[in-house]
Structures are given as C-alpha cells and as structure tokens.
Amino acid sequence: MKVNRMIIHNLKKEQQEKAELIISDKALNPKDKKVISIIEELNSRYRANVNQGVFAKYTGDMDTFQKEFNIYLKSKKPTFDERFIIMAEKTINMLYGRIDSIQAAKGGYIVYVDYEPTANKHYFSIFLIRDVTGKVFELNKNTITIEEVIHADTANLAMACRINIEKYKNINDSEEDSYLNFISVKQPETSGYFLDWIGAERKKRNKENSKNLVTIITEIDPPLGEDGKPVDRNTFYRQVYDAVKTFGTNDINVNSLSTIIFSDESKIMEYAEEHDIELATEFYADNNVLKRLLSHSAEGDNIRLRYPPAYFKDKIKIDETSPDTIIIKSKALAASILREENK
C-alpha cells in the first residue's frame, strides 16, 4: 500500500440541524503508519453494495467535483500536493453548500486520499465516515470502571466513491466502460446528496458483470464437499448456475450468492478485489453468458465440439508447439470414433 496524499475534513451535521464545516489546513504524512493502516482498512471495506458508474455529463461553466478533479490531475501548477489540498477544500465547500439545506442528511468525516494499493492500481477515493460511541475499561484507584470513547466507524462506511485514475485518464467518450464505483448504503439520511455532489451516475453493465462473475468462478478454488475434498469443478459450476437461477427475474446479489456457495458472503468480492476484476454487488445476470459455466462449443472445418468448460486444458488442449493441433484425451470418445469408422 502506497499513500500519496491524504487529508480529512469534518462536515458536522445531525438530522434536522444546521451543518458546521471544519477544514484541515494540512494534509497528513502519507508515510505515517497510522495513515497507511486506516487506508488499508477503508479500501478493504470496498466489497459491499458496490455500484459501477461514471461522472454525469454537465454543460456550461458550473463548478463540479469532476471539474476540480480534472484540475487536480491535469494542471501543471501549483504542485500535486498543493493542488490536492486546494481541490479537497473547494469540493468540501460544495458539499457543505448542499448538505446544509437537507434536513434529513447527516455528515461525518470526509477522507480524501490518492493511493496505490498495489503496483498496478492507482485510486482517488472519498470516504464518508461517522463517529460511534464505544465502551472501554479503565483502572481508576484500584477499581475498574467503564468509560465511553468516541471513534471513527471505519467498519461501516456511510458512503464512499473510488475513481480508477488510469482508466479515467484513458477512457474515450464512446466507451461503455466505467471508471468509478461507489458504495451506496440504502439509508434515508444519505438522501443522495453524496452522489449528487460527486456527480456519480450509475451504469448498468449486466453483460460485463456476468462475464466477470464467470471468470471468477472458473478461476477461484471450489468449496470443500462433505468428504472434505474440493467439489468437482463441473459440479461446482452447476451449483453456481443453479444458485444464480434462484434469483429469478431479480438482480443477483453477489454477497448472497457467495454465502450460498461458499458460506462466506465476502469470498467472491474479495477475489474480485484481489485480482483486479470489476464486479458490481448487484446486477441482472445475462443467461447467455452464464450458460458458459455449463457448456462450451467450437466448430471449424466441419468439426463440432461441445464440452464442459472444466475440460479445457485438461482433457482438451491446444498443442503449444503446433497451434492448429488439438489434443483430446478420452477413452470413451476414442472408442466411439473407432466404432463409427469400423461400421
């Protein structure tokens, strides 16, 4: 984990009350172990209620989060560090202007961070974190007492948005890909003000998400069966396909699917995060794509093959030294071909 820049502002606001903005005048030391630790924790929370999107299109000269973000990324002066502080201050004031008039809205600590969780990932994220009151035991004159302590609830993000910087810089207007994703907790007090402020627009990418789910399932280790051994891959694929079908005409929820298959709601999303595979938490499954979990087919030169996906690179291989040579290892198929030829 490499943190490039981080700053925290506090937008204090309770429901039905006026807002108060407390702005930090300095960014935190990105090499501080506490800074790195909290970003690692916040980034790891990016596995629930994830939606994919882009910046909404605006016209005219109105000030927007995207406009200030572009200045931060593309301007030559002042320095990156200085532009980061300026961008955070300008945009937090935009948020303050929105939230103050929304009676039901609640505020919190707004964390801005430019960071690289791995060598091939570069993100700009904004996290909204709220306070919670906890209990601690303290020793006071030979008596252990219970005291209250207020701390940041990083385990339950209120809202967050994460921008993939490289994808954003290189995307074309004609592309359907998404470069940002956001956590949207369905609570009335959020009132959509956070996403309106960012200008995040959800993109439904059902086919792409279905493809990425299939990719994950074909790569991830199957769960253990009752005998303590990994479930056969063909059986595993059928289990996933059948589980997806139980969602019917509704969007599938990847966390629920993961619970059904692995008895661990975070297993699939964790794999997606660790292997840089984009996957929304909820999407409508494309059945034509999901059928690839059950069967693959190929044809050429009047030859047709239909085979379970787990057979590829196992019973069915393409010769690396002779790419037009296909090796099929199957006694039953060989016997069937001989019977046909000896009729």
* In the predicted structure, residue 187 carries a pLDDT above the cut 60: no
Q: Which of 26-40, 94-108, 188-202, 309-323 has the lowest mean pLDDT?
A: 188-202
Q: Which amino acid is at 172?
A: N
Q: What is the DSSP letter of 231?
A: P
Instruction: State the DSSP H helix or E strand holding residue 11, giving kind and residue range, or none if neither.
Output: strand 2-12
Most confident of 8-12, 42-46, 242-246, 331-335: 242-246
CB-based burial label for 28 (10 Å; 0-12, 13-18, 19+): middle
Handedness of CA 175, 195, 181, 50 (dihedral sign): negative
Check: CB of residue 131 under 8 Å from CB of residue 22. Answer: no
Residues 20-44, mean pLDDT to the nearest whole number: 89
pLDDT digits (tens, 9 = 90+) for 261-306: 999 998 999 899 888 888 888 899 999 899 888 888 888 888 888 8
Q: Give the Cα separation of 217 and 237 in Å (integer).
A: 7
Q: How far is CA 6 from the centre of its chain?
A: 21
Residue 62: count of CB within 10 angstroms of its CB: 7
* In the predicted structure, residue 181 carries a pLDDT above the cut 70: yes
Q: Give the Cα separation of 241 and 253 in Å (integer).
A: 14
Q: Which of 48-57, 286-295, 324-333 has the lowest mean pLDDT?
A: 48-57
Which pairing describes strands 200-202 and 282-283: parallel, antiparallel, or unpaired?
unpaired
Tokens representing residue 200 in the block: 């995040």
What pLDDT sits at residue 228? 85
Rounded to a whole number of angstroms, the CA Rg of the chain reads 26
Check: CB of residue 90 under 8 Å from CB of residue 23. Answer: no
Q: Which residues pair with 9 in a beta bridge?
A: 110
Tokens representing residue 151 in the block: 């701390």
Check: CB of residue 105 under 8 Å from CB of residue 187. Answer: no
Q: Which of 48-62, 80-94, 101-115 has the lowest mean pLDDT?
A: 48-62
Q: Which residues pair with 248 in a beta bridge?
A: none
Query: Per-domain residue ranges for the chain?
Result: 2-128+155-202, 206-291, 297-341
For 27: left if phi > 0, alpha if psi spans -120 to 50, otherwise beta; the answer is beta
Residues 40-49, mean pLDDT to the nearest whole number: 78
Most confident of 3-12, 57-66, 155-164, 330-339: 3-12
Q: Give Cβ neighbours of residue 185 (< 8 Å, ≥ 6 apart).
A: 49, 157, 158, 159
Tokens representing residue 22 in the block: 């407390």
pLDDT digits (tens, 9 = 90+) for 220-264: 999 988 888 888 888 999 999 999 999 988 999 999 999 999 999
Q: What's the mean pLDDT when you consider all of the chain? A: 84
pLDDT band at 5 (very low <50, low <70, confident <90, very high): very high
Q: Give Cβ neighbours of residue 123 (< 8 Å, ≥ 6 apart).
A: 43, 113, 114, 115, 116, 117, 162, 163, 164, 165
- Could you tell me the maximum CA-CA distance found in the chain, to the nearest angstrom? 98
Q: How many residues does the chain have?
A: 343
